[in-house]
A and B are shown apart, each in its own frame.
Chain A
Amino acid sequence: MTTEKPVVGVLDDDGDLAATVARLLRRHGLEARPFDSPAALLNDLASCSFGCVISDIQMGEMDGFAFADALRSRDPGVALVFMTAWPTTAHAVDAVRRHGGLDYLEKPIDEQRLLAAVEEGVAWSVRERRIASVTASFTRRERHVFDLLVRGHSNKEIAERLAISARTVEDHRASIVTKTRTNGLAQLVALSRGEP
């Protein structure tokens, strides 16, 4: 589990706008950093844990959607918010459905909507990372058992589904509880939802 405050990346090939939005977010208590090129942001991915990235769609070197795919492949736990000066219905649908954007903002930007989207994004990212850190220590089989368990299946059902014995399921379950240091199913379910 990461304890450092998640960073919000603001990416726009218009550096002034990126800086302005980053300052706006900082004024609202968020850790924000401006970037004027996708490459610069992707470079910093290793050294810095982003919670949310606000990205322009039409950028010179790399289009916002291509950037989104690159970002996702390197770090699936970052929330994405798109902004654009060329809004189209097709783009809006693509942004949300295909590229997992939380929102699609038109320039000039509505401040309230931007803040709401970023806060939602950061919270989502925190949950995602928490789940990832919990399940990272699982074996493949433990992960399967965990997924079925938190969906409310009994040991017997899980054994049938995975074609293993109920006894083995119990072993996996014990291991899961040990690894997550939880106490009972309710806590496991809360974990699976990214709740602390």
Chain B
Amino acid sequence: MPARAAPRRQLSLAPRAKDLPLLLVYGFAFGLLNWAAHLWGGPGFFSLWYPAAGLRLAVLWHCGLRLTPWLIVTELVTDCVTGAIPLTGSATLSSVIGAARPGVTCGVALAATGALLRGKAGVLTQPPMPLGLAAIAAPIFNALAVPPLEFLFWKTSSYRSGVDVVISLTGLAVGDVLGILILAPPILWLAGAIDGGTLTKPRLPRGRLLADALPLVASLLLTAALARAGLGVQAAPSLLGGAWIGLRHGRAAAWLAISAQAFVFLTYSASAGSMTAADRLELHIGLAAVVLVTWLAGSFADTQTASQALLDRRNRLLFQAERLKTLRAMSVAVIHEVSQPLSTLAIEAAHLRKLTEGQDTDLAESAALIDRKAQALSEMVRRLRRFGGRDVDEPSLVPLAMLVKTACQIVAAEAGSQGRTVDLAALPPDLVVQVQEIELVQALVNLLRNALAASPQGTASVAAATAGEFVKIIIANPRPVRRTQGAGMGVGLIIARTIVEAHGGTIVRDDDAAETRFVLSLPLSGVLP
């Protein structure tokens, strides 16, 4: 199931022509789901599972936050048409505000998740995880927004007691969670498939369906057995089963498990007429926990799989680069080994040919032939060498982290003996620049050497960050108290600047109060997939 890395950032809120049919379909679907939800309604809460919330989240996630106001308008229109909002009477305003609240909080939840995770690294920011977090944040925000609104607009609460408030808000959150996690994933999968043109098969463990079905059935049977024994409908067995399935087989399997469990539980809670509202709420809280845990487990497993795949890919690339390097070094060595004896051979062959020139003998013919071949071989070695040399100098795509690490290693080797240290901050691992590797490493080494030499404690630090289409490498050292006469002549910086400028970059000195800082900017060529 495809999911966006983060909600798209859109500045323009104006609707586009192609949004209109989408909003029409949305209004219709919203009305239908809204109606379907009332089957699980109860006193003090609207419904114990609310699929319309899933639809809302999926649409906002896929199409971007700019649609938020338009979805809210569509929902209000639908509510008016279906009569959910009375058009006359004193309740109109409160109904409108109440109906707009979920849309607003859903938008806020998505924006907050995006803002929270933007620019951070770690397993939480890898694709399926943000959606999982947004799916939890949206219902919580929605529920939390109720009391302040009640207080602001109605002064006198419609709830009779604190217990009522808790039941109502919990019911609301639980209903949204169930609705979102059951409906949003398949909608997003479908939307992604339509975008991509083909229906990508979700990652389902082939032939392991049985292995997943067994714990599922077992947990349901255990639940049933516990209920028979008079212990009530307990969610714990399903919790275990769901976590197990999600962790083992990812989101697709998790979603199937969620759907199956939700089907069983919801059917039960809708059909069990004798159930009290409190029992039903308890059951649904349990179900929400099951669904959340299962989904997060599935997302986590998928993220892990994706990270592992990325890691493997990087390892392969590095291995390949390493092998190419070895091959290059080997071919240079071979050229050298060949050129040494060939020098002697070519000179002697030419001499032999000259000695025998003009003689109409077999010997002269042999000598001429040997000389010709030796000259041809010499020419080939020269050509090969030129080719190899250019290859080495040609700009190639190099991971930034590798460049910086190489430079640090070179400097660390000579700095270590003098008790100096370079502090290397964590580098973004996926940035790639198009550079002449050896030259750029030289530029970095020069800057690092300067920083170490100028630092009173013999420490320097390196960090890197992206800035638009550029990557900035910041090399800093603590400022000396008074200017000392360095041992160098300032040539290192000039060389570094020449190299970096030849690559379309810049070196700028950007000191702050405590540190001397040189900022090396290079055009970014891409990001590792």
Q: Is A98 an interface residue (CB 8 A)?
A: no
Q: Report B115 CB to chain A, min CB distance, Å.
A: 50
Cβ–Cβ < 8 Å partners of A17 in chain B: 340-341, 343-344
Q: Is B398 an interface residue (CB 8 A)?
A: no
Cβ–Cβ < 8 Å partners of B382 in chain A: 106, 108
Q: Report A188 CB to chain B, min CB distance, Å.
A: 39
- Docked complex: B331-382 residues within 8 A CB-CB of A: 332, 335-336, 339-344, 346-348, 350-351, 377-378, 381-382
Q: Is B385 an interface residue (CB 8 A)?
A: yes
Cβ–Cβ < 8 Å partners of B348 in chain A: 20
Q: A85-B336, A87-B385 are in contact. Are A107 and B342 (CB under 8 A)?
A: yes
Cβ–Cβ < 8 Å partners of B344 in chain A: 14, 16-17, 20
A108 touches B339 (CB 8 A): yes
Contacting residue for B351 out of A27, A86, A108, CB 8 A = A27
Complex: A71 Cα to B282 Cα, angstroms: 96
Interface size, chain B (Cβ < 8 Å):
20
B347 touches A20 (CB 8 A): yes
Cβ–Cβ < 8 Å partners of B347 in chain A: 20-21, 24, 109, 111
Count chain A CB atoms within 10 A of each CB in B343, B346, B382 and give the residue with the most: B343
Count chain B CB atoms within 10 A of each CB in A14, A108, A109 and give the residue with the most: A108
Q: Closest residue to A18 on the B side, CB-wise? A: B344
Complex: A108 Cα to B377 Cα, angstroms: 9
Complex: A21 Cα to B378 Cα, angstroms: 16
Complex: A21 Cα to B351 Cα, angstroms: 11
Q: Report B335 CB to chain A, min CB distance, Å.
A: 8
Contacting residue for A85 out of B340, B350, B351, B377, CB 8 A = B340
Complex: A38 Cα to B344 Cα, angstroms: 20
Q: A86-B336, A106-B382, A106-B385 are in contact. Are A24 and B343 (CB under 8 A)?
A: no
B351 touches A109 (CB 8 A): no
Complex: A85 Cα to B336 Cα, angstroms: 5
Q: Report A176 CB to chain B, min CB distance, Å.
A: 39
Cβ–Cβ < 8 Å partners of A111 in chain B: 347, 350
Q: Report B383 CB to chain A, min CB distance, Å.
A: 12
Cβ–Cβ < 8 Å partners of B341 in chain A: 14, 16-17
Complex: A21 Cα to B335 Cα, angstroms: 20
- Docked complex: A74-119 residues within 8 A CB-CB of B: 85-88, 106-109, 111
Q: Report B440 CB to chain A, min CB distance, Å.
A: 16
A108 touches B342 (CB 8 A): yes
Cβ–Cβ < 8 Å partners of A16 in chain B: 341, 344
Residues 152-165 of A, flagged 1 when their CB comes within 8 A of B and 0 if not, give: 00000000000000
Q: Report A15 CB to chain B, min CB distance, Å.
A: 10
Cβ–Cβ < 8 Å partners of B381 in chain A: 108
- For the A-B complex, the count of residue pairs with Cβ-Cβ distances under 8 Å equals 48
Complex: A85 Cα to B333 Cα, angstroms: 10
Residues 118-135 of B, flagged 1 when their CB comes within 8 A of A and 0 if not, give: 000000000000000000
Contacting residue for A14 out of B340, B378, B385, CB 8 A = B340
Cβ–Cβ < 8 Å partners of B350 in chain A: 111
Complex: A48 Cα to B350 Cα, angstroms: 30
Residues 103-141 of A, flagged 1 when their CB comes within 8 A of B and 0 if not, give: 000111101000000000000000000000000000000
Complex: A86 Cα to B332 Cα, angstroms: 8
Complex: A121 Cα to B272 Cα, angstroms: 108
Complex: A23 Cα to B377 Cα, angstroms: 22
Q: Report A163 CB to chain B, min CB distance, Å.
A: 32
Q: Closest residue to A23 on the B side, CB-wise? A: B351
B351 touches A107 (CB 8 A): no
Q: A17-B344, A106-B385, A107-B339 are in contact. Are A24 and B378 (CB under 8 A)?
A: no
Complex: A106 Cα to B340 Cα, angstroms: 10
A109 touches B336 (CB 8 A): no
Residues 370-409 of B, flagged 1 when their CB comes within 8 A of A and 0 if not, give: 0000000110011001000100000000000000000000
Complex: A88 Cα to B339 Cα, angstroms: 15
Complex: A19 Cα to B341 Cα, angstroms: 12
Contacting residue for A107 out of B332, B343, B377, B389, CB 8 A = B343
Cβ–Cβ < 8 Å partners of A106 in chain B: 339, 382, 385
Count chain A CB atoms within 10 A of each CB in B340, B346, B378 and give the residue with the most: B340
- Docked complex: B195-254 residues within 8 A CB-CB of A: none
Complex: A27 Cα to B348 Cα, angstroms: 12
Q: Report B388 CB to chain A, min CB distance, Å.
A: 11
Cβ–Cβ < 8 Å partners of B351 in chain A: 23-24, 27
Cβ–Cβ < 8 Å partners of B340 in chain A: 14, 17, 85, 107
Count chain A CB atoms within 10 A of each CB in B344, B348, B351 and give the residue with the most: B344
Complex: A163 Cα to B343 Cα, angstroms: 58
Complex: A27 Cα to B352 Cα, angstroms: 12
Q: Report B346 CB to chain A, min CB distance, Å.
A: 5
Complex: A17 Cα to B344 Cα, angstroms: 5
Residues 302-316 of B, flagged 1 when their CB comes within 8 A of A and 0 if not, give: 000000000000000
Complex: A20 Cα to B344 Cα, angstroms: 6
Q: A20-B348, A86-B336 are in contact. Are A109 and B385 (CB under 8 A)?
A: no
Contacting residue for B346 out of A23, A85, A108, CB 8 A = A108
Q: Report B387 CB to chain A, min CB distance, Å.
A: 13
Complex: A106 Cα to B347 Cα, angstroms: 14
Complex: A85 Cα to B377 Cα, angstroms: 15
Cβ–Cβ < 8 Å partners of A107 in chain B: 339-340, 342-343
B336 touches A108 (CB 8 A): no
Complex: A24 Cα to B336 Cα, angstroms: 22
Q: Closest residue to A14 on the B side, CB-wise? A: B340
Q: Report B526 CB to chain A, min CB distance, Å.
A: 29
Q: Report B371 CB to chain A, min CB distance, Å.
A: 11
Complex: A24 Cα to B351 Cα, angstroms: 8
Q: A20-B348, A23-B351 are in contact. List 12 more A-B contacts (CB 8 A).
A: A17-B341, A20-B347, A24-B347, A27-B351, A85-B340, A85-B343, A88-B389, A106-B385, A107-B340, A108-B343, A109-B343, A109-B346
Selected A-B contacts with CB under 8 Å, 15 pairs: A14-B341, A16-B341, A16-B344, A20-B344, A24-B347, A24-B351, A27-B351, A85-B336, A107-B340, A108-B377, A108-B381, A109-B343, A109-B346, A109-B347, A111-B350
On B, residues with C-beta under 8 Å from A are 332, 335-336, 339-344, 346-348, 350-351, 377-378, 381-382, 385, 389
User: Which 3 residue pairs of A and B lie closest in terms of their CB atoms, listed nearest first?
Assistant: A108-B378, A107-B343, A107-B339
